[in-house]
């Protein structure tokens, strides 16, 4: 299976890419020896007494799929509550990207794990 247009679009023009200097949580997962490393920065805000992801940025070392996964994931959870973001699973990401080649599905899992790790980090601190 080839990459979808949507994967290529997010790979070429990644959304929310970069750092947040005073982030409320930062998580990193993956290993350069395996070819993928993802880092997610979160800025948490409040809306109607609920904690929401006010801002999210990512950095990724990896293939087109890894970059596209982190890019689309940030779009999917920005402005959402932490509970909603914790519900996000890999299948939704793959669906949103219009599919991923079978050997790239692990990239979507790594993306979800990195996001959830950042959220839990924040929840444990507060």
Whether residue 98 contacts residue 6, with contact meaning beta carbons closer than 8 Å, is answered with yes
Where does 1-126 have alpha helices with state H?
5-12, 64-77, 82-87, 90-96, 105-125
Catalytic annotation present for 107? yes
Query: CB within 8 A of 48, min separation 6: which ones?
Result: none
Q: Minimum distance from CB of 104 to other proteins (Å)?
A: 8
Say how far apart CA 79 and CA 47 lie, in whole Å: 9
For residues 87 and 103, which CB has a smaller minimum distance to other proteins in the complex? 103
Which position among 20, 23, 25, 38 is part of the footprint of other proteins (CB under 8 A)?
A: 38
- Window of 6-14, 42-50, 88-96, 117-125 that interacts with other proteins by CB under 8 A: 6-14
Contact flag: residue 57 with other proteins (CB under 8 A): no
Phi, psi of 92 (to 5 degrees): -65, -40
Whether residue 36 contacts residue 120, with contact meaning beta carbons closer than 8 Å, is answered with no
Task: Single out the catalytic residue among 34, 50, 83, 123.
Answer: 34
Site for other proteins in 81-110 (CB under 8 A): 103-104
Contacts to other proteins by CB under 8 A: 3, 8, 11-12, 14, 17, 28, 32-39, 59-67, 103-104
Query: Catalytic residues, which ones?
Result: 34, 107
């Amino acid at each position: 299976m080839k990459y979808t247009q949507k994967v290529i679009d997010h790979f070429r023009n990644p959304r929310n890419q970069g750092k947040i200097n005073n982030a409320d949580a930062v998580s990193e997962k993956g290993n350069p020896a395996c070819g993928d490393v993802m880092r997610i920065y979160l800025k948490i805000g409040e809306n109607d007494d609920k904690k929401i992801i006010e801002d999210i940025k990512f950095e990724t070392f990896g293939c087109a799929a890894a970059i596209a996964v982190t890019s689309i994931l940030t779009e999917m959870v920005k402005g959402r509550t932490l509970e909603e973001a914790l519900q996000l699973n890999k299948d939704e990401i793959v669906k949103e990207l219009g599919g991923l080649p079978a050997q790239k599905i692990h990239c979507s899992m790594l993306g979800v794990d990195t996001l959830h790790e950042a959220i839990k980090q924040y929840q444990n601190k507060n």
